[in-house]
Each structure stands twice: as C-alpha cells, then as structure tokens.
Amino acid sequence: MPNAARPANATLILLAALYCAQGLPSGLIAHSLPSLLRQQGVDLAWIGLLKLLALPWLLKVLWAPWVDRMASPRLGHHRGWILPLQGLVVLCLAGLALLDPDRLFSSQFVLLIGVLLVVNLAAATQDVATDGLTVRLLPERWRGLGNSLQVGGYKVGMLLSGSGLLLVADGLGWNLSLALLALILAALTLPIWRFDERTQLPFQPARAEQAFGPRLLLAHYRGLLAQPGMLAWLAVVLTFKLGDALGSPMIKPMLVDHGWSNAELGQLTLISSLAGIGGALLGGLLYARLGALKSLLLFGALQAAGICSLAVLASHGASAWAVYPLALFEQVADGMSTVALFAVMMRQCRAEHEGADFTLQASAQLILAGLVGASSGLLAKWFGYQSLFVGAGVLGVMVLGVVIYYFALAQPRREEPAAG
C-alpha cells in the first residue's frame, strides 16, 4: 500500500506507549539495578548474573509461533497477549515496591532475581505480540515511522527507568521510586486497553498453520524460510549492523582511557540517547520518501561513517568539543539505520505470522551482532582503538554490497514503495 495515508494519531500513540512500556523493565534491570545493588554492597558476581535475565529476549523465538497462533476471543489476538502480560509486569513492580530494600538486596535476593526473571519473560513475550500488531496496523510506506516509535519509545522507557530512577532514588527511596515506575507503566497500558482490536484487526486463523504442539515451531519457520529470496534477506539482516556492533562497545572504554569521569560519561550517554531518538524519528520520516533500498544504503553509509569517524578521537585525543559532535552523529546514524532495517524486516512478515516472523529476524541479527561485539575488546587490545574503528567503518561499507545483491535479486518480484 505505497500510497496509504499516514496512520491516525491514536495509532501512533498506541505504538509509542507499547514500546515505551517495554523499555521500562529493560532500563531498570540494565542501568538502575546494578548501581543500586552495588550501593547496598551486593557482590559483583551476583550483579553480573543480572545479564542472564535477558535470556528470554534471546529465547522468545522458541515460543513466538504460539503467540501468532493463539488468540483471546474476548480481548482480541495481540491485545489478548499484551494486556495480561503488561498487567503482570505492573503487579511485579508494585510487589517489589512493597518490600524492604535492605532485605530484598540481601536475604531475599533470590526472590528479587525470580521476580525480575518473570518481568523479562513477560516483556519479551509481549514484544512478540507488539511487533505483530505493529506490522498489521501500519501500511508498508509508514513502517519506517512505526519503527521510529519502536526505537524512540523503547529508549525513552529505558531513560525513565534507568537514568530517571537513579535521579529520584535518593530523594524518594526504593519503595516510592518503584511505585512511581509501576504507575507509569499502568498509565502506558491505557491506549491498548481502549483499542478495539477485534473490530479493527480481526484474527484470521485460517491463514495460520494448523499444526499444534512441537510441529508448529517447525512448520512456522520452515514456511518463513521457504519464502522467495528469504535466505538472501537473512544475509542482509545478519550483516547490516556488524560494523556498528564491532565498534560501538569500545567507545566508552576509549573515553575512560582518555580520562573521562563517570559523570562526564553519564552526561554524554543521556545526550547521545536523545540524539539517537531524534535520528530514529528522522529515519522513519525519510524512509516514507526514499523507500527501502535507498534508505538502507544511505543510512548504512552514514552508520559506517559515524563509527569510522571515532578513529579521530583515538588518535587526536578525546576533548569534549571533539567527542560530542562525533558521538552524536554516530548515534543519529545508528537510529536511522536501525529504523530502516526494522522497517524492511516487517515487510518480510507473512499475514497472521507477523510476530514470530519478525522475532526470528530480530533474534538472528541480535545473536550474530552480540558475538561480533564480544570480540571488539580483544581486537582493540591487539590493534588499538584507531584500527578497530576504521575496520568497523570499512566493514559497514562492505556489507552494503549484500543489500544491493538482495534487492537486485528481489526487484523482479517486488517493486520499491513509491516515494512521497
């Protein structure tokens, strides 16, 4: 639907609220809790185990087909998953807000880990339903804008529960801070509560696999991989962000080696996150005009240039006047390229398979990028920061050849969305 009108404001508010809600638990676990736990004297080994709580986000691909296949007759398909799961997260946060933090961080630490695991499991499963709903709600031309809301909303949620929680924790205390977080999440539930999915997007089970049990997993993903050109597209998904994955983990270590303090790094993180949100919004608007191929090539080139430009800091020092322009440019380009990739991933999703199809692509991209990112420290140690950033930029340009190859292969089957 290349000429479809822009989605209604109510639709955009709904999607922004859902993705912001998903960012709240992630910011709490990834940014706030490590600092709060350490302040309470929790051992570093236990704090490190918080990383394992992210496993549901990697493993959700195993149960995503059931999210696509099962629907609530009363609440609707995706809404029938999102409402109960988001409500469960609200209850978990409210429950933690009622507990004594001194005991929670010591004798009840196992309880804290268990509750946070439930939170991540619920949030990861909800993400499958939210992505499926987004694909169905948005015409192809406006999926860039939808992914702007995804990237931007998620980052806003992380900032609220990460930096925001740390800012108010000393004044309000643990209990009131968590209660405030639960209230914000409850408020973000209102748009999906008011959304009448059964009328606007009725479930069509005849278009989904009829297999049940373990066979459903195999049937679902075998059907996706059998789509024309899907293997070539997966090559794009796996490689498009590799340059960024290789270089970005070493930005802060490089700045630390140049003498940056925690406060300076925190300020840079906040400002660059806001720049990334702006880049995501800009990328979504440009995607509607440029189409898929031009967006991937242009934003991918900017992404490669952004990460490569950081080599200047490694060789000529990291004064604030040099760091901020380059770091902000890198974050803007990262937001734009992420939006373009996610938007094209959405157009690969089949009807009534949207959630799991998108999840498989996202999981594949995340796993390989994680493995490449894990090697960045070793490569920086061997070759230095400057060589690492230059190499990451070169890699970012090289993988654009995979994009060109895929679209050359796909052009006879599917035309580009018309520019605005």
pLDDT tens across 304-358, in order?
999 999 888 877 767 778 888 998 999 999 999 999 999 899 888 888 888 889 9
Which pair of tokens denotes residue 277? 């949100």
Please report the DSSP string for 84-103 in residue order.
HHHHHHHHHHHHHHTS-HHH
Provide the pLDDT confidence category of residue 210 given band limits of 50, 70 and 90: low
Give the model's pLDDT for residue 80: 92
Provide the pLDDT confidence category of residue 142 given band limits of 50, 70 and 90: confident
Strand partners, 76: 72
- Which of 134, 167, 170, 186 shows the shortest CA–CA distance to 24? 186
pLDDT tens across 34-88, in order?
777 777 777 767 776 777 788 888 889 889 888 888 888 888 889 999 999 999 9
pLDDT tens across 215-267, in order?
788 888 888 888 888 899 999 999 999 999 888 888 888 887 888 776 777 78
Q: Looking at the predicted structure, is the pLDDT value of residue 383 above 50?
A: yes
Give the model's pLDDT for residue 407: 92
Asked if the domains at 9-196 and 215-410 fall in one CATH topology, the answer is yes
Give the model's pLDDT for residue 209: 64
pLDDT tens across 124-136, in order?
999 999 989 998 8
Provide the pLDDT confidence category of residue 420 given band limits of 50, 70 and 90: very low
Cα–Cα distance, 71 to 129 (Å, whole number): 10
Q: What is the mean pLDDT of residues 273-297?
A: 90
Q: What is the mean pLDDT of residues 378-396?
A: 90
pLDDT tens across 79-126, in order?
999 999 999 999 999 999 999 888 888 888 889 889 999 999 999 999
Which pair of tokens denotes residue 3? 């000429």
Q: Looking at the predicted structure, is the pLDDT value of residue 416 above 50?
A: no
Give the model's pLDDT for residue 4: 64
Cα–Cα distance, 21 to 265 (Å, whole number): 26
DSSP structural state of residue 163: I
User: What does CATH list as the number for 9-196?
Assistant: 1.20.1250.20
Q: What is the mean pLDDT of the chain?
A: 85
**What sign results for the dihedral spanned by CA atoms 80, 139, 245, 159?**
negative
Q: Residue 220 is which amino acid?
A: H
Domains of the chain, by residue range, sit at: 9-196, 215-410
Q: Looking at the predicted structure, is the pLDDT value of residue 192 above 90?
A: yes
Cα–Cα distance, 243 to 396 (Å, whole number): 4
What are the φ/ψ torsions at residue 233 (nearest 5 degrees)?
-70, -40
Give the model's pLDDT for residue 418: 41
291-308 CB burial, b ≥16 within 10 A, e <16? bbbbbbbbbbbbbbebbb
- Which of 99, 146, 122 shows the shortest CA–CA distance to 22? 122
Reply yes or no on domain 215-410 having CATH 2.30.140.10: no
pLDDT tens across 160-187, in order?
888 788 788 878 888 998 999 999 999 9
pLDDT tens across 348-376, in order?
888 888 888 998 898 888 888 878 887 88
